Amino acid sequence: MESTTHKNIATFTHLSTLTQYFIPFGNYIFPIILWSTKKNDSEFVNHNGKQVLNFQLSLFLYSLVLIMIAIPAFLISLFNNVSLSALVTEHDFNISNFNFEDNIGMLTLGLTCLLIFGLLKVAEFFLIIYASIKTSNGDIYRYPITIPFIK
C-alpha cells in the first residue's frame, strides 16, 4: 500500500508532462526533477517516473521518424515538376505547372504522417490524464506503445 504522498508525487510526475504546452521541453524537465528527487524513497514513484520518461522519449522518437518521412515527401512532391535551371536562373519561384496526379503518392504519404502525428499528440494528452487518474488511485499504469529506454 502506497502512502498518499507517494501517490501524489507519482500523479504530479505524470501531470508535469503537460507543461510542454507552456514551457519548451517541460515534458522532460519537470518529470525528471520530480522522479529524481523521490525515486529512492518509493518503488511506486520510481516505476511511474520511468514510465513517464519512457513514454515521452518514445513519442519523441515516433515524432522524429514521422517528420523525417513527411518533410522529404512534401519537398519531393513540390520540386518534382520544377526544373533546376528555372530555380537557378529565374528569381521568381513558379509552381504553376504542379501536377497532382504525378505527386499523389508522395502527398498521401506526407499527409498520412501528419495525421498520425496529430493522432499521437491527441492520444498523448488523454493517456497522460488517464495515467494520472490511475496513479492517484494507487494503480500501476504502463503506457501503451512505449519503448523501455530506462529500465
pLDDT exceeds 60 at position 119: yes
What would the mean pLDDT of 90-118 be, rounded to a whole number?
Answer: 77
Q: What gap in Å lies between CA 120 and CA 124, rounded to an integer? A: 6
Looking at residue 74, what is its pLDDT?
83
Looking at residue 76, what is its pLDDT?
83
Looking at residue 93, what is its pLDDT?
56
Domain ranges of the chain: 4-136
Predicted confidence band of residue 102 (pLDDT cuts 50, 70, 90): confident
Global pTM?
Answer: 0.84
Predicted confidence band of residue 115 (pLDDT cuts 50, 70, 90): very high
pLDDT exceeds 90 at position 51: yes
Question: Do 53 and 34 form a contact (C-beta atoms < 8 A)?
Answer: no
Looking at residue 78, what is its pLDDT?
73
Looking at residue 82, what is its pLDDT?
63
Predicted confidence band of residue 107 (pLDDT cuts 50, 70, 90): confident
Looking at residue 112, what is its pLDDT?
94
Q: What gap in Å lies between CA 11 and CA 131, rounded to an integer? A: 8
- φ and ψ at 96, to 5 degrees? -70, -20
